[in-house]
């Protein structure tokens, strides 16, 4: 029950209360809206993804390299996974950005956390997109298919 609080700040107004004029633009509004909309779409995408991968047919036992290769041969699943990747990454990144804004107390901490966050997001989105579109189920090196590949007979 007993809540502990920090020693109170001294009587003078802390500089953080000095307002620095309003900000123009609708970024925060659009970010807020994006969170709601992407959230709804992600529920459909993710549960569809889980259903198709884990429940349909042989379910979880069917998942292997060939299964993924087969899915990505179909533009429908390419688009599905691409949308899921982008929306999930941006949704998550915006969520973490919000948490950083809420909890980081120093401007420099906030800046560094955000740099790390945005760098990670960029790498994952670029890498993921690249994989979805350049995925080759049957890699051939010097005329010999690599083992583990999924080549048409």
Partner 1 sequence: MSAELAEPASKIELPAGVGGGGEIPTFDVTLRVRRYNPELSEDATWDDFKVTMYGTDRVLDALHKVKWEIDGSVSFRRSCAHGVCGSDAMRINGRNRLACKTLLKDLDTTKPITVEPIKGLPVEKDLIVDMEPFFQSFREVMPFLINKGHEPTKERLQSAEDRERFDDTTKCILCAACTSSCPVFWTDGQYFGPAAIVNAHRFIFDSRDDAGDMRLEILNDKEGVWRCRTTFNCSEACPRGIQVTQAIAEVKQAILSRKI
Residues of the shown chain interacting with partner 1 in the complex, contacts defined by CB under 8 A: 1-3, 5, 7-14, 16-17, 19-20, 22-23, 26-29, 31-33, 98, 101-103, 105
**CB-wise, 19 or 61, nearer to partner 1?**
19
Helical H segments across the chain, by residue range: 27-50, 65-72, 75-103, 107-134
**CB-wise, 112 or 133, nearer to partner 1?**
112
Rounded to whole angstroms, the Cα distance separating 95 from 101 reads 10
Shortest CB 5 distance to partner 1, Å: 6
Classified as helix, coil or strand, 86 is helix
**CB-wise, 58 or 107, nearer to partner 1?**
107
Reference 77, options 95, 52, 94; nearest CA is: 52
Shortest CB 109 distance to partner 1, Å: 11
Shortest CB 84 distance to partner 1, Å: 25
Helical H segments across 19-72, by residue range: 27-50, 65-72
């Amino acid at each position: 029950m007993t809540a502990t609080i920090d020693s109170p700040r001294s009587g003078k107004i802390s500089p953080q209360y000095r307002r620095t004029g309003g900000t123009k633009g609708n970024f925060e509004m659009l970010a807020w809206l994006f969170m709601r909309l992407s959230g709804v779409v992600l529920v459909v995408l993710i549960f569809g993804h889980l259903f198709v991968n884990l429940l349909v047919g042989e379910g979880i036992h069917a998942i292997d390299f060939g299964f993924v290769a087969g899915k990505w041969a179909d533009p429908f699943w390419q688009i599905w996974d691409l949308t899921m990747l982008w929306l999930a990454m941006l949704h998550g990144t915006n969520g973490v950005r919000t948490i950083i804004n809420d909890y980081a107390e120093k401007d420099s901490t906030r800046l560094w956390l955000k740099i790390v966050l945005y760098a990670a997001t960029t790498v994952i989105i670029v890498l993921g997109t690249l994989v979805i579109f350049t995925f080759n189920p049957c890699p051939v090196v010097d005329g010999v298919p690599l083992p583990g590949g999924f080549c048409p007979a």
